[in-house]
Structure 1
Amino acid sequence: MADEMQNGQEFLESDDFRRNAAIIITEMLNVSNNTPENTTELMDEILHSIFFLGTINKPAYTPEQILGDKFAELKALYPNPFDCYFSQLPRRSPFSCVLDMIVRLRGHENEEDIKATLQELILYLREDAQSEQKCLFSSVICISQADQGTVKHYGVSMSTSNKDARGIMVAVSCCHEWDEYVAGAVMTYFPNRKKNKRKDKTEIDGTIKLPRSVMCRAFSLLNGEEMLPCKSCATLFSLETTENQVWPYGNCAEPECLSNLFKNEAQVKDKVNLQKPESWTAKDKEIAKKMVLTSLKNSLKKVKFNQGMVLYTPQQA
């Protein structure tokens, strides 16, 4: 996976970031124009997220370099991302915004259409890419339901292109975006892939156990095949798997997907159980969040983003 290459060096030698950013923005404008719902907020959010990742990329890209002759038009329509991308943090990585846009276009129930539309976009993004690695798109989608026949909820893996960007977005998601149960499970192991500990060296544990009725399935957006949960997700959410692969905690599609399920299905969230309640007290949550915020500060310092940790609020219609 692209997220696993060392420091993203292969990607940094290519111009795929600018190319893919321009394609995604153009495609999302087209989808926005064909979607009955108002999508101003999503367009605003994806522009800010891409511009932020562009400014911390190596080499860095400005909105004008990304947009070319569309710069003036889009700045007039969505001024806030242009003013805030270098001073405020995005809440989500770009392909999460793409997913939301496609779900609005196709409808929550049309799982196959949603997957096919995303796969078509990814095929386009990879077609003339200079690198084999993924850039600004997700490789996995996850679909969850409270039970058979209920509303489907979606999530995608992090669409970041290197370790630093991924660490920033996972940390922001844990502290500000994901449901508390999902965030707690990820924060158990983030940022060091080992269980975080109290000062007395005892482990904290916010991992959860899903209700038996919950359905959670993942699919590759590169070849369409269904995928077993990785060992990391199995540990975090008590998902059954025979996989031994351990991907970085929070990188997969399951956290976003389950977070969306819990946020929208209160009756499901009420049935979620902590795997070790005695190891996830209010104090433990505070300890874990402090560790994540420290990691976020360090990651921002590393990419020379020195503007603090204010989160961006997308413009609404």
Structure 2
Amino acid sequence: MDPERERKEEFLRTQEALRRNAFKIISTMLDWCNKTPGSKHLVDEMLHCIFFLGKVNNAPYTPESIIGDQEMLRNLKEKYPRPFQCYLTQLPKRSPFSCVMDMTVLQKGQENEDQIRKSLGDLINSLEEKFLVSSTICVSQKSSNSVRYYGVSMSTDGPNPGRIVIAASCLSTWDDYVAGAVMTYYPKKIKKEYFDGTIKLPQNSRCQAFSLSKGGQMPPCRSCGNLFGLHTDEKREWDYGNCAEAESVSNLLKHEEEVKNKSKPMSPTCTPENRQRAKEDVLTTLRSVLSTVRFKTWDNTFYNPVTQ
């Protein structure tokens, strides 16, 4: 066989894990939805996320190629029509494993942290690596006995899908303090000279990450130290906004006003005008990345799942 064709075929084989993981996650979420009242919107949102990521993958997948079971495909199109209608025009607000996490929290109750981590860990250990899989979960609390707020790392593979979903999260769903902190460094891991929206969480609050596959605690990376003032000796800098801490801290600040008031960004460059400029820079980068992955049909909106 010609080496170039062999290389292409091998590449396509490696991409098949996306389709297999997607099918398994969808099947699991449908099963969980049947047992969990008030969770249909999470399946709806997750389907849209997966279909979008299939479209922008290096080897693109359509919803029909992801869901090989024809009866299941018919049922999904009937019960969840909007993800099929909107995945080519609207961007997801977060990555699909966030929907899986929310489903698990709804099932187990936010106070049952060990059960939530075990349930997600068991699912992840049944999947193949990389595609649609979050590696870490983070738990944030106002104090040791208060409500727990969860977040998972971006379940995207490759730099472009990650940049798209981080930008979309900044522009559409994260708490404004978290979005501002991430936008300070997005997309090149270099701090903007004109804007510093980084914050410092209060000392008595909790923000602890865990490995989902192994279960153990994980120290914050250098990026999370820079964004949220978390103490760390780690040198590794992940893409800003990629880690589970971003979603978890966002959920904490949205619900705990006292923590938010104590976390106010302090830099004199954090003005409404500079923030708007940072937001426009993120939007410009997002449009550029969408063009790179040949996604040219965005209608400038973010997907809102059906809530009933």
Q: Distance in 2 between matches of 1:272 and 1:14?
A: 41
Q: Name the structure 1 match of 2:210.
A: 219
> Once the two structures are superposed, what CA deviation does each residue of 1:237-264 show, in whole Å capped at 9, x if it has no partner?
0001111111111100000000000111
Q: Map 1:266-277; keep pairs closer than 5 Å.
A: 266-276=257-267
Q: Distance in 2 between matches of 1:243 and 1:313?
A: 37
What SS does structure 2 have at the residue aligned with 1:187?
helix
Q: Name the structure 2 match of 1:49.
A: 49
Q: Name the structure 1 match of 2:227.
A: 236
Q: Tell me how far 1:14 sits from its aligned partner.
A: 3.0
Percent sequence identity over aligned pairs: 48
What SS does structure 2 have at the residue aligned with 1:108?
coil
> Would the aligned equivalents of 1:12 and 1:58 in 2 still touch at CA under 8 Å?
no
Unmatched tracts of structure 1, length 5 or more: 1-8, 127-132, 199-203
Q: Name the structure 2 match of 1:3.
A: none
Q: Name the structure 1 match of 2:94.
A: 92
Q: Map 1:147-296; keep pairs closer than 5 Å.
A: 147-198=143-194, 204-276=195-267, 278-296=268-286
Unmatched tracts of structure 2, length 5 or more: 1-9
**TM-score of the superposed pair, with normalisation by structure 2:** 0.93
> Would the aligned equivalents of 2:12 and 2:59 in 1 still touch at CA under 8 Å?
no
Q: Tell me how far 1:39 sits from its aligned partner.
A: 1.0
Q: Tell me how far 1:267 sits from its aligned partner.
A: 2.1
Q: Distance in 2 between matches of 1:67 and 1:109?
A: 34
Q: Tell me how far 1:313 sits from its aligned partner.
A: 1.3
What SS does structure 1 have at the residue aligned with 2:126?
helix
**In 2 relative to 1, CA 256–10 (structure 1 residues): closer, same or farther, beyond 3 Å?**
farther
> Would the aligned equivalents of 2:177 and 2:264 in 1 still touch at CA under 8 Å?
no
> Once the two structures are superposed, what CA deviation does each residue of 1:166-210 show, in whole Å capped at 9, x if it has no partner?
000000111111000000000000011111234xxxxx2110011
What SS does structure 2 have at the residue aligned with 1:270?
helix
Q: Tell me how far 1:235 sits from its aligned partner.
A: 0.6
Alignment counterpart, residue 118 of structure 1, candidates 105, 109, 120: 120
What SS does structure 1 have at the residue aligned with 2:127?
helix
RMSD, aligned CA: 1.4
Write the letter of the residue equivalent to 2:295: F
What SS does structure 1 have at the residue aligned with 2:262?
coil
Q: Tell me how far 1:58 sits from its aligned partner.
A: 2.3
Instruction: Give the number of equivalent residue pairs.
Output: 296
> Would the aligned equivalents of 1:11 and 1:161 in 2 still touch at CA under 8 Å?
no
Moved over 2 A (4+): 9-14
**TM-score of the superposed pair, with normalisation by structure 1:** 0.91
